[in-house]
Structure formats: C-alpha cells, structure tokens
Structure 1
C-alpha cells in the first residue's frame, strides 16, 4: 500500500506540461491579478511610481554610458570599462527590477509573485553575464591599448576571445537559471565538462599558441618593431599573430616561430637596453717598460672620455703567451646599435693612434726556440760567423806577392 501511494505521489509531482495546463495557469494568474489590483490599487500605484523613477534613473545611467563610449571609443581605463558595461544594460532587466519592487511592496498574490520572480531571475542572471563579459573584454582592450602591436594582435584575437568568454559566461548563467528553477543540472554540467575536455585535447596546440599570444599581449616581453635575440637568431619583430610570431633577421630572411616555442626560450630585448657595453683587449710586447705599462690604463680612460662614452674600467688583464694584456670597458648610452658601432670603431682607431704616438708596440703572436747543448748551455740558432779580413789586391789569397 505504501509503495502504491508513493508511486501516485511521484506521478502527481511529475505532471506533464500540456497546453491545457498552461491555459489553466494563465487563467489563474489573470484572476489573481485582477483581484490583487482591486484590493491593493493604492500600494500598486505608489510602487509603480517608485519603480518608474528607478527605471528612469537606470535609463539615464545607461544613456551616460553610451555617450561616454561614443566620446571615447577606445577603452583606456576603469571609467571606460564601467561605461561600456553600463551601456549594455538591457531594458528588460530594468523593467523586471521595477516589477520586482512592485510585487514586493504591494503584497502580490503567489501566482503573480512567482511569475515576476521567474522572469526577474532570468533577467538578472543573464544581465550579470553581459556585464561580466563587457568588463572582461574592456579590461583586455584597456590593458593593451597603449602598445603599438596591440591593435594588430588584439584585433586578430578579439573574435576568439569574445567567443570563448561569451560561451563560458552564458553557459554558467544558463546553469544558474536552471538550478534556481529546480531543474537537475548535474547531467548538463557533466556534459559541458566532458565536451570542454574533448575540445581542449583536440585543439591543445592551437590553444597553447593562442594563450601564448595573449601572454605576449599582457606581459609585453616585446612588441612589434623591437630587436630581439633568442638562441642563435637576431632580428626585428614584424608581426605577432594568434599562432606564430614573424621575425625579420639581420641577414634578411623572415623567420616564423610559434608563440609557445618563442616564450619557452630566453629572449633578449635589445630595444629596451639602457646602454650597450663594449670591451677591448690590448696586448703590448714584453719589452715594454713597467713605467709605460702603468700609464696605459690612464691613456685608455682619456680616450674613452674624449669620445663622450661612459668609462667603466681599464687595467692589467694578465701575462699572455706573447704579450702583456690590458683591457678597457666602456658603455654607449641608449639602445641605438649604429651609434654604438660607430663609437666603438672611433675609440678603437683612437687607441691605435695614441699607442703609436707613445711608441708603445702592440704585440703579435711570436715564438722563440732555444736549443740546448749536451752540457746544458744554450746553442745559438745560427752558426758563428768568422771575422772577414780585407784582402790586399797585390797579394794572393795565401798572402804572397804576385
């Protein structure tokens, strides 16, 4: 008997939604609404007046948001982000706020209250999703507006970004609405999760490069036009795309590398240098007097400072195989490579001229070989030359007169 009762109860709880049932509910709503209007007309008028003021205030705020976006089409800060979100406020949401206030103040019947709550829930959840989408997209644009490469890279990525953000937010909104309406959303959530995993595995390479492109846009390790080094490659950034970055090497060819692979490498951004450092190693012969060697660091410093470069250090480096080695380091301000190159050339030639003027000989690789005699003494590398005597032409080679 108990099982039969439970079965009847479950059958009653799961009544099918038929046109007749909808008609009956509509008639009930109409009758309850008319009774409510007759019994609470004063409270309803007051609530409608307050609700109208609220709707007008929200409409004025929405109009301000639209005007702000028209004046500043490019989002640059939080004010632009909020203005963009406010401009997307729907009229349906404003009306449902007013209706919610009316039924709450005027003690509406259950049928009217349930209907208003149903539509208000839908309007509020989806309006929150729209606001969240506009805030996220606005922050993306505001984050990258000041960068020269952003318009190109972000313009290519914005369509995919908008699609992904919209899908995620509205899927969450749909689940929240269904859950508030009493629908079991466990299966829907599981289906969305499995589908998302399948899509992610199928397109993991594309998504990896896409997120790497977004990382380049947000983190800004480089931008279009920058000169960079990575591995054995040096060149200028020509374009940053969704899948790859194009680099024009200094040898002239265009190199294309995926965004993920590029970010996995150590990148040197030469454009953001505050200086370039040059170093010269100079070797002088071992026959140079110690007093002259003591003057060499000062000579090198004078030459560097005379060419408007930042002197770092100069000094004795070590005893080389065939030279006394000195070193000088100096900085060229800024990242301009041609200016650095020309300055380094001028200083190198000036060092050569100064050493020649000071009679300081620059060493070149030399090697001397000594041969030892059996007794340990050194044997000269050439034979001894016998002295040559002048021969009297009146005598022969033997010294006798002809």
Structure 2
C-alpha cells in the first residue's frame, strides 16, 4: 500500500481531541501531524523547497544591500544609516518570513498555521522595533556628528536606553494584543506610571529636553559669544542639565537649560556686518554753509577707510551743540577688527573736521551783559584801553 492510498484510507484528523489528559492531548496532536504529513508530503516538500529559495533570495538581497551601504563613503550619512538597519536584519526573521509565505500552500492543520502566524507576528514586530531604534539613533548621531556636539555624544547612552525601552514597550503591547490579551489596562497603567515619573522628575526632564532642543535647534554652539539677559558671555559647555558661560569679565555663569531658553538670546557668532554710530556736536557759531557741507565730509571719511557709509544727518538742537549723527557698517566677523575700524573712522573724522575749521561743542555757558540802554554787550567793555608801560611808550 502506497503512502497516498494510506492517506486516503486514513481520516484527515481525529473527530475529537481529548481535553483532560495532557498526555492524551499531546498524542492527539502528534497523530494529527502524522496524518497531515502523510497526506500532504508532496505539498510539504514543494513548500520547503520554495521556502529555501525565498530565504536564499532574501539573504542575497540583504547581503548585496549591506555591501553597497558599507562601501559608500562617509560616516553617519543616510547610506550608512540604511546599512546599519540592514545589518540588524536577523537571519531568523528572514527564515520565518519565508515559512509564512509558503505555509498556506501545504495546508497545515489549524494549530500549526496559528503557531506560524503567531511566531511571524512576534518576529516581525520585534524586527520593526529594532529597525526603528537604529533609524532614530542613526539620525540623532548624524545630527551630533554634523555639529561635533560632545554633549549629545556623551548622552547617547541614556538616549539609547530611553528609545529602546519606549520602542520595545510598544512592541510588547502589539504582541500581547495579537495574542488576544486585553491591553487597555496595561496601556492605562503605563500612562499613569509615565505621568507619575514625569511629575517626580519634572525639573530633570525639563532641562534634558531643553538640552536636546539646544543641540538640535542650535541657537548657539560652544565657543560662540551670546548675550543672555544682561550678560554677554562665551559658551564653554552645553550639558544635559546646565550650560556654562564665561562672561566678558571672566566670571563663570552656570545656567540651567530651561532658564536659558526662557529668555531672549542674542548670538553674535554669525554677525557678518556690524553697525557703528557716532554722535557729533558742533558749536552754534558754525556757519550754515559749514553745516550743509558736514554730511558729505563725514561720508568721505567713512569711505576713505573702506567701509560702508549708511547715513549722516542733522539730528537736532542740543543744549550746547548742533547735533549730527554718523552711521556706517563694517563688514567683518571679528569684533576686534570692528573696534579697530570704529577707532580709525573716529580719528579720521576728528582730524578732517579740525582741518576744515569745525569746533566740537562741549557743555558750556556764556554770560551776556546788558548796557544801561538794554543793548547786549560782552562781559567786558570794549572801550577800555589797555594801559601800556611808559617805557613802552618811549
């Protein structure tokens, strides 16, 4: 008697399965498997062959993609991240995927098919969690490499733990849900626990996320000069909880990241041009013609120093001066060079104005005396003649 005739003569599955005796239940499933193998050996053989071919092709594609990704230049590039994701693809997962693709062809018993589906779901969910972790960590490390940020590099350990816990917690919930477990209470419990932990460590997490915000948004970097509140300082270190600033007077300012981002910050690092202004006052005795010529004279001095003239105009009548303003732009990133340019322009303006006969005003008071008839005269009588010595007359 052949195997096919034996399979035809044998019932596909027993009519009932014993429920009480575990040994009898195990024997029942064994008998069912034997009947299935005897009745579908050809389909099983074809499915096994097809599964091996699919597994081989998937492994070949993974190896080819990994080789191409690893041969690409650069570190923490998008190609490098893709290579890391491919490298984390497990061979066991490829085998389970191949089995799942061909399992239906062999018409396995319901319990076998359910087992294959369950194992496939668990493997795929865990593999997706691993892929997601590698992608997120790769993007974070790429950002850290772009900015050469030591703080983020040092924090990668705790970031890896937090991301792994979050992703695998979601994966566990998905797996339990596919097993038929009611995860509503579990999700609610995790949410309440997360809220409790967040409230307990609110200050720490606030500074941590503020640090990540500084790292990714990059309002400033280490070595740059910024103005925070009323302080002008250079950034020395960006930590997970606080940032160290060195003020222009030499003091070390340690400011929590949350407080640092809560106020306006002025960054002087990328200031490619700086505006300088002068307030110039001349005496009231200056003639109108000289006043009209003053803006052009000031413009000529700025352009002679090689800087950009913006404007020069009459501002108003001061208490003891006629006030003008001079505005110019210096195109230079180095603040020391800007200071030197401001000094050079100021000295040149003073020199040229002095040569042209302008008198700079300074706070003074002039007393005028009135004659008996009300005429304004000088503080001294012009009619008084200076007495000369007799020796000089002779």
- TM-score, normalised via structure 1 length: 0.84
- 301 and 243 in structure 1: CA distance in 2 versus 1, 3 angstrom threshold: same
- 199 and 382 in structure 1: CA distance in 2 versus 1, 3 angstrom threshold: same
Structure 1 CA distance, aligned partners of 2:367 and 2:207?
Answer: 63
Considering only aligned residues, what root-mean-square deviation do their CA atoms show, in Å?
2.7
Does structure 1 residue 189 correspond to structure 2 residue 187? yes
Residue 314 of structure 1, CA deviation: 1.2
Partner of 1:43: 43
Partner of 1:345: 343
Structure 2 CA distance, aligned partners of 1:100 and 1:72?
Answer: 37
Asked if the contact 1:76–1:145 (Cα under 8 Å) also holds between the matched residues in 2, the reply is no
1:3-402 matches, cutoff 5 A: 21=22, 26-64=26-64, 66-67=66-67, 68-69=69-70, 74-77=75-78, 79-148=79-148, 150=149, 152-370=150-368, 381=379
- TM-score, normalised via structure 2 length: 0.86
Partner of 1:10: none
Structure 1 CA distance, aligned partners of 2:359 and 2:213?
Answer: 55
Residue 161 of structure 1, CA deviation: 1.6
Asked if the contact 2:320–2:364 (Cα under 8 Å) also holds between the matched residues in 1, the reply is yes
Asked if the contact 1:32–1:112 (Cα under 8 Å) also holds between the matched residues in 2, the reply is no
| More moved, 129-138 vs 26-35 | 26-35
Structure 1 CA distance, aligned partners of 2:229 and 2:370?
Answer: 52
| More moved, 92-101 vs 336-345 | 92-101
Asked if the contact 2:368–2:378 (Cα under 8 Å) also holds between the matched residues in 1, the reply is yes
Could you give the per-residue CA deviations for residues 221-278 of structure 1, whole angstroms, max 9, x where no partner exists?
1111111111111121111111111112221222111111111111111011121110
Structure 1 CA distance, aligned partners of 2:71 and 2:25?
Answer: 46
Could you give the per-residue CA deviations for residues 16-65 of structure 1, whole angstroms, max 9, x where no partner exists?
x99x64x6555444433333222222322332233223322333344356
Asked if the contact 1:309–1:331 (Cα under 8 Å) also holds between the matched residues in 2, the reply is yes
Residue 164 of structure 1, CA deviation: 1.5
Give unmatched runs, 5+ long, in structure 1.
Answer: 1-16, 394-402
- 64 and 201 in structure 1: CA distance in 2 versus 1, 3 angstrom threshold: farther
Structure 2 CA distance, aligned partners of 1:58 and 1:222?
Answer: 46
Partner of 2:7: none
Residue 379 of structure 1, CA deviation: 7.8
Asked if the contact 1:226–1:237 (Cα under 8 Å) also holds between the matched residues in 2, the reply is yes
Structure 2 CA distance, aligned partners of 1:258 and 1:282?
Answer: 43
- 141 and 72 in structure 1: CA distance in 2 versus 1, 3 angstrom threshold: farther
Asked if the contact 2:275–2:330 (Cα under 8 Å) also holds between the matched residues in 1, the reply is yes
Q: Name the count of aligned residue pairs.
A: 372
Structure 1 CA distance, aligned partners of 2:40 and 2:341?
Answer: 91
- 93 and 374 in structure 1: CA distance in 2 versus 1, 3 angstrom threshold: farther
Asked if the contact 1:61–1:86 (Cα under 8 Å) also holds between the matched residues in 2, the reply is no
Structure 1 CA distance, aligned partners of 2:70 and 2:25?
Answer: 44
Could you give the per-residue CA deviations for residues 102-160 of structure 1, whole angstroms, max 9, x where no partner exists?
31222111111111112111111111111111111122222332113x2x121122122
Structure 2 CA distance, aligned partners of 1:125 and 1:234?
Answer: 51
Residue 212 of structure 1, CA deviation: 0.7
Asked if the contact 2:368–2:376 (Cα under 8 Å) also holds between the matched residues in 1, the reply is yes
Could you give the per-residue CA deviations for residues 319-372 of structure 1, whole angstroms, max 9, x where no partner exists?
111111111111111321011011111111111111111111111111224577
Residue 202 of structure 1, CA deviation: 0.7
